[in-house]
């Protein structure tokens, strides 16, 4: 599930595709590389056979890396600001398996770990991390195309030479490492290899979410900017989703603490989008009121508490009772909807055309 705010392309649409996919002398068009920030943390544990940091063999096969005053500390020993990691085979970065070139950087008091991944390896890992690998292959293929398209657009947006193109979290797309790949997600990546959704001459904003609750949302309502291919689409194929319908009870005290609004007594819905999702709420505490967007309200209370903006709310015995449908921002590909369409005999091309109307599926390499 991708949550990165909209980033406008910094080069012209036509040039974007040419820069990314031009067949240049000496260029292997079958190997598109994506730099993925696996983790950014105060400390990172690396482990594997033949582990080397900047060419120095780590005899224990296990390394703890920290950032100290803008420099790396490897097993307590000072190192440079930037270091390369290699091994005799696949190795682990915390709990993620990698088989790629990895760079460590000290970013203030944090260690940034960036892997330079073959795009199709990345797509196979994202598909396994964002969708259930045992789902029908056609649904996995739709996810693979969406993941590849999103990654390439983000690479172009930040610059192809940027140190980091995407993060391995819900900010962009969840990537749990090479160990997450399965035969089915590898097949989904390879059978759609190089296929990208475009609108005009550029890769689209290929947003996706878990379950729309029957109808997807527009990008304008969800994110504040419109795209013709991110319109609302009737789904109706996600009824089997665990959160197709849900009810959550949260105490007023807990919500008040998360909002920083002591004495909260009620939450009222003041407006909805055209699809019926909550757009704005009003909070009351004593004689004071506070208005905010529903998106901010959900973010502050917690995405793991309010699963979507398709909800109603009432106060019951000192609790807020939310009754809703769907899970996620509801823009673009509905993952449970894709599963339902696949089970009904639709192929991945039909799914992509349904959830991203007006786009073109191109094989770019």
Whole-number pLDDT of residue 3: 54
Whole-number pLDDT of residue 1: 62
CA of 288: how far to CAs of 292, 295, 299, 318, in Å? 14, 21, 22, 18
Are 96 and 168 in contact by the 8 Å Cβ rule? The answer is yes
Segment 129-149, tens digit of pLDDT: 999 999 999 999 999 999 999
CA 3 to chain CA centroid, nearest Å: 6
Interval 297-311 mean pLDDT: 97
Segment 221-269, tens digit of pLDDT: 999 999 999 999 999 899 999 999 999 999 999 999 999 999 999 999 9
CA distance 166 to 184: 24
Whole-number pLDDT of residue 61: 87
How high does pLDDT run on average in the chain?
91
Segment 308-317, tens digit of pLDDT: 999 999 999 9
């Amino acid at each position: 599930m991708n949550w990165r705010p909209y980033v406008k392309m910094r080069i012209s649409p036509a040039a974007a595709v040419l820069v990314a996919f031009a067949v240049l002398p000496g260029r292997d068009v079958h190997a598109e590389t994506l730099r993925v920030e696996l983790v950014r943390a105060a400390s990172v544990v690396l482990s594997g056979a033949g582990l080397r940091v900047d060419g120095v063999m780590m005899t224990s096969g296990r390394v703890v890396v920290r950032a100290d005053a803008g420099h790396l500390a490897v097993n307590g020993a000072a190192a440079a600001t930037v270091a390369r990691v290699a091994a005799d085979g696949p190795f682990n970065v915390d709990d993620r398996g990698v088989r790629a070139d990895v760079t460590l950087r000290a970013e203030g008091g944090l260690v940034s770990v960036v892997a330079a991944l073959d795009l199709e390896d990345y797509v196979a890992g994202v598909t396994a991390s964002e969708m259930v690998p045992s789902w029908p292959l056609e649904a996995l293929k739709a996810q693979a195309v969406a993941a590849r398209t999103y990654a390439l657009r983000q690479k172009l947006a930040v610059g192809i030479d940027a140190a980091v193109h995407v993060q391995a979290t819900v900010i962009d797309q969840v990537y749990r490492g090479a160990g997450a790949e399965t035969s089915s997600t590898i097949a989904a990546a390879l059978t759609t290899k190089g296929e990208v959704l475009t609108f005009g001459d550029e890769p689209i904003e290929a947003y996706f979410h878990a379950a729309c609750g029957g109808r997807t949302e527009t990008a304008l309502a969800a994110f504040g900017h419109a795209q013709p291919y991110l319109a609302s689409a009737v789904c109706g194929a996600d009824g089997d989703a665990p959160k197709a319908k849900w009810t959550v009870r949260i105490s007023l005290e807990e919500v008040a603490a998360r909002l920083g609004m002591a004495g909260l007594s009620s939450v009222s819905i003041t407006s909805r989008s055209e699809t019926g999702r909550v757009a704005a709420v009003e909070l009351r505490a004593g004689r004071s009121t506070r208005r905010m967007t529903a998106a901010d309200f959900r973010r502050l209370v917690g995405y793991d508490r309010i699963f979507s903006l398709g909800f109603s709310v009432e106060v019951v015995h000192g609790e807020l009772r939310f009754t809703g449908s769907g899970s996620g921002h509801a823009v673009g590909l509905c993952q449970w909807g894709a599963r339902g369409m696949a089970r009904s005999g639709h192929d991945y091309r039909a799914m992509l055309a349904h959830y991203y109307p007006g786009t073109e599926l191109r094989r770019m390499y």
